[in-house]
Amino acid sequence: MFQIIRHEEFSPITFLWEVLAPDLARAARPGQFVMVRIREGGERIPLTIADYDTELGTITLVIQAVGRSSREMQELKEGDYILDLLGPLGIPSDIKKKEGRVVLVGGGLGVAPIFPQLREYKMKGNHTISIMGFRSRDLIFWSDRFMQYSDEFHIATDDGSFGTKGFVTTVLDDVLQRNPDVSEVVAIGPVVMMKACADVTKKYDVKTIVSLNTIMVDGIGMCGSCRVTIGGEVKFACVDGPDFDAQKVDWDELMARQRRFVDEEKHAMECFGKDCHARKKFEEGG
């Protein structure tokens, strides 16, 4: 059992957990993730480690309540316990001192997992440019953290309520035009956003890394659900990644695989809070 020692709401659907897990905090590295299960019969949820504190013995997770399991997770408060916390999993991000500038792009919830990478790049002596993207001003979080480790900082909002109006790709294209010495771009967020970033960076021939943890189920390479095609070869995001070369990802295949559980997820949400057969079966682990 792992205790939630801090629960912070960023918006009606986005929240933070700080979880007491000393061994995990000592072992965690940027880019790695954990598998969370809050109770017996519950779903296994992959979450990238957004931060870790070896002195306090905690890890930080930022979660968006979009489905049945994440809605249940949002109901847990400070002092509550979660059943399972497996990790750190995945290959840590390859972060080194680069010859040119490094651009880090976080879209929506992807802002959280890209933060430890931004911090590590800066601590390695890199010139960092960060770009955060949100639908609107009221969903923005951690801008103060990003400014602390960024030599250049940008925010884009879909509705123009703060920063640049439009998507992160608008800002990214401008940054790459103005900085021909950019040596690497790291992008984390929704699959469609990461693909769009890859399309932009391809024009400038800039190495681009993306994180593909959202398609995982068991997180340890046993189920095969996170199969991805990278440069014509089959890889498993949980054990071979989650970081991959964006220009080698088969994005059409990846987006198709993301839709494979749409009907089940819809039914689970319809039964959320209802006394239906599907809910009982879900809670019994069936």
Q: What does the pLDDT look like over 54-70, one tens digit per residue?
A: 999 999 999 988 888 88
- Res 271: pLDDT: 61
Is a pLDDT exceeding 60 seen at residue 281?
Answer: no
CB neighbours (10 Å) of residue 282?
A: 20
Over residues 173-193, mean pLDDT: 96
Over residues 123-149, mean pLDDT: 95
Confidence of residue 204 (pLDDT cuts 50, 70, 90): very high
Domains and CATH numbers, the chain: 2-89 (2.40.30.10), 91-204 (3.40.50.80), 212-286 (no CATH)
Confidence of residue 42 (pLDDT cuts 50, 70, 90): confident
- Res 224: pLDDT: 73
Is a pLDDT exceeding 60 seen at residue 269?
Answer: no
Cα-Cα-Cα-Cα dihedral sign, residues 47, 53, 56, 62? negative
Tell me the percentage of the chain whose pLDDT exceeds 90.
72
Distance CA 265, CA 66 (A): 10
CA angle 56/23/90 to nearest 5° reads 115
- Res 69: pLDDT: 84
Is a pLDDT exceeding 60 seen at residue 217?
Answer: yes
Confidence of residue 214 (pLDDT cuts 50, 70, 90): low
The answer to whether 41 touches 285, Cβ cutoff 8 Å, is yes
Radius of gyration of the chain (CA): 19
> Which tens digits make up the pLDDT trace of 83-108?
999 999 999 999 999 999 999 999 98
Look at residues 96, 101, 160, 152 and name the one whose alpha carbon lies nearest to residue 133.
160
Is a pLDDT exceeding 80 seen at residue 268?
Answer: no
- Res 66: pLDDT: 81
Confidence of residue 259 (pLDDT cuts 50, 70, 90): low
- Res 277: pLDDT: 45
Average pLDDT value over all residues in the chain:
89
- Res 267: pLDDT: 46
- Res 278: pLDDT: 47
- Res 255: pLDDT: 86
Which position has the higher pLDDT, 184 or 274? 184
Mean pLDDT lowest for which of 17-31, 109-123, 262-276? 262-276
